[in-house]
Structure 1
């Protein structure tokens, strides 16, 4: 399982590699460059699934996220 994901801001295209939590979903993420507050897109469980290079750990394990 991969625990690092690179989030790409849709506002300014800044990329930041972050370590994903394994015990919770991350619903909000503030871009370190432009301070835009990212939220999951409709149908996604967390910001890593919407904007990350790697989906969150539960999705990687083919489990229900945030259960």
Structure 2
């Protein structure tokens, strides 16, 4: 896990709210509820998790070896 960034800021595509979150290292996070408008976010097509779609930093597995969490 050398040089893996665990903090990412998720931006809601509906209301624009931003929130810093700590990404899990043992699983992908497929769903994320916006704390502002309560929209349930899901990854965009081709992405494995909400961090890869809406975060400022890709998830740890992608950072490490580019492989999806699957």
TM-score (norm: length of structure 1): 0.96
Structure 1 unmatched ranges of 5 or more? none
The count of corresponding residues between Structure 1 and Structure 2 is: 67
User: Which of structure 1's runs of 4+ aligned residues deviate more than 3 A?
Assistant: none
Structure 2 unmatched ranges of 5 or more? none
Give how far 1:62 is off: 1.9
RMSD, aligned α-carbons: 0.9
TM-score (norm: length of structure 2): 0.92
What is aligned with 1:28? 31
